[in-house]
Structure 1
């Protein structure tokens, strides 16, 4: 990723006091430079059905999953957090059938009136008019994403991964060691432990901020690595800080099948 372009994007939305007020659409020399580097974008008008079609085409690439996994692992020691959320974007959309928005309406719409998106907990609209991808990419680069369940975010995330030379990297022994430590920390066995407890257990295991660890928890949950089991829930409705990992608790641990599906070549034989 071009460092100058990334700095332009970051300074557009974030300053010493946190979030900045911005006016869209963006323009100017800096914006044009960041846009030329594929880091900032013009407003996007697109339909749900077009997004689903593009995602379907992306998933025809048999090398995509391995690229997503190696990019994720490479991010652990390098702190390239923008490479992480492709794991959840891939997982959330890999089972998405080719469909139209009105084909199957959701009976109980939680995230979308589209039944297929709603079933997979994807937030989608029938049409997007002048949608701003810049704030989504800012969140991706700053923390590893925030709106992981947005269909539009998943498309942007996976398309950017294809273009990012940082994503073509070897997984180092340090990355593998961090992965093992994160998985081991998730096996607390204590039903009183919440997602917030796990975030604190992860502190110090790899270079990260609290916000980046929060994003990683959501990514792992959306990817099926941290999921509630049939054990009784100790909390009342889960944590308001999270969406996908809100009701996870310590005795759920991590999903072994999912861990092996993604990371088997990078894990010791006995974990």
Structure 2
């Protein structure tokens, strides 16, 4: 991939995405864990433990080539994206819970993501010269993720009105940036795009559906209400593809590792919308049978 794209545009793009996240966060969002302890715990178990395990099983079942297998595991370990908040709002989810999960997941990913990536590189690509995410590279992930978030939160603390005015434009810009990053990744591998979609498209689709289903139905089994479950599904099913692509192309210097994230990021917009429509509280209320009149 062109060095200008990976060394300049991509870090700036990810910084914009994380800044947009920070503009919508306050310290209270982290304290809100005490308000939704059960929902947060169940969602984090899904995100940190169940999702990587499910992705590993799918990668083995589909017998992906090593680069695509590691790329899928990198995607599975990535936290939810800011788009999850928008989808949750559209389909009746608890957006406050979404914001809390995004904040907590983004911090946790600093520690869990390098572990998953390094284990995956060791399992699928041992002997290929991949050095993984060393401590210095982990610090880069820490900086590119948390510093823009902290700046956004500081701006919101100093001027809530300015942060509110800027939050929507920056969120829209984040979506534009994500699309640009995906296009840049696919264009850099344009000679192999058809092959990559053939190789990774189906597993990305299945993983996306599994992520959404786990994110929704496991909380429901834990007797968490529908709005909170919708929020969890969107948080778990919509990953931060920009972060995964950044790590693959910049820190690991392997464009092929970024292909699953690019493919997934295209698919998730459509599957998340369809899934959100099916499980949205408003639709569920409409399809529930009316009670029988009293005798």
Give the structure with the higher percent helix.
Answer: 2
Does the alignment reach a TM-score above 0.5?
no
TM-score of the pair, normalised by structure 1: 0.25
TM-score of the pair, normalised by structure 2: 0.24
Higher relative contact order (CA 8 A, sep 6+): 2
